Structure 1
């Protein structure tokens, strides 16, 4: 993927990736101790891989304030 097409892909999927990360993060309180394994499986099943990486980054940003 060229950097131009990578940037295009990112722009096209940013909002969807953010929404998916928020959906996954919302389950943390529900699943509690089981959340980590569940979210890992959810991320593993996302395709294509660049989209899964975007969701993972968004999820990391959502978690950052709670880990302090």
Structure 2
């Protein structure tokens, strides 16, 4: 599977996962960064985790 195909196949799921993680920011406050790092660490494959990380960065930039 090409990188493009992988991205196309998992883009919506990555956006949804990033939103779920981002939504916990207010709930967890100062603990959020540690929690989200642990959540990202558990995601697999690494290419998918990178997609979620990029989506989180996009959401955070929107603040």
TM-score between both structures, scaled by the size of structure 2: 0.96
Where in structure 2 are the equivalents of 1:1-68 lying within 5 Å? 5-66=2-63
* 1:31-50 deviations in Å (ceiling 9; x for gaps): 00000000000001100000
Runs of 4 or more off by more than 4 Å in structure 1? Answer: none
TM-score between both structures, scaled by the size of structure 1: 0.90
What is the RMSD of the two structures over their aligned residues, measured on CA atoms? 0.9
Looking at structure 1, the residues matched to 62 and 53 of structure 2 have their Cα atoms a distance apart, in angstroms, of 15
Question: Where does structure 1 lack aligned partners over 5 or more consecutive residues?
Answer: none
**Larger Rg, first or second structure (1 or 2):** 1
Question: Where does structure 2 lack aligned partners over 5 or more consecutive residues?
Answer: none
